[in-house]
Amino acid sequence: MTDWAAALNDADLGVEQALADLEREKQRLREVSKIWQESTTTVRAKDNSFSMTFDGRGEVSELSFHGSKYRSLAPAQLAHQIVAVMRQGRAEAMAKVESVMGTSGMTGLDFSAVASGEVDPIEMVNSLLGPMIEGLDGLGMKVPLSFDETEPESGKKSDKKSG
């Protein structure tokens, strides 16, 4: 990823690096989108009594029981196996996304957490734009608000009508 403080010292180089970074990230996101739309992952229980298929986002799309072995399992044992297969399937599905995204581009961003909805959108935006904002701050260019700050009360217009 671009060192924004250094890149801003040479504006042309900074723009070229920023555009190259953007294009790399866009390509990665295209690949992730394809995985989300087309990929499936199937995981079988250790005893082969059932299998689950997961879509590209790691959500269960199919549950299939094989034979009647599942009927002889104690409810707690069957529940334990279902949870274990779900965890394994989600992890394998998310590993496909992580293999495309890697960590070289946007450090600190957990793509499996993004895909599963566990990441706060504000946290994600700050992670993506934070290095650039810090680079601007390092050059004496103060960015007025971060994405997690709210507008101060004094800056808001009153909704009261004068009468």
CA distance 137 to 140: 5
pLDDT confidence bin for 100, thresholds 50/70/90: confident
- Write down the pTM of the prediction: 0.57
Q: Is the Cβ–Cβ distance between 96 and 28 less than 8 Å?
A: no
In a domain, 154, yes or no: no
In a domain, 82, yes or no: yes
Q: Is the Cβ–Cβ distance between 67 and 73 less than 8 Å?
A: no
CA distance 35 to 54: 12
Give the residue carrying structure tokens 């995204």.
101
Q: How confident is the model over 126-154, as pLDDT tens digits?
A: 666 666 666 666 666 665 555 554 444 44
In a domain, 153, yes or no: no
Q: How confident is the model over 70-97, as pLDDT tens digits?
A: 999 999 999 999 999 999 999 999 888 8
- CATH number for the domain including 117? 3.30.1310.10
Q: How many structural domains comprise the chain?
A: 1
For 11, the domain range is 4-142
Q: How many C-beta neighbours within 10 Å does residue 148 have?
A: 10
In a domain, 159, yes or no: no
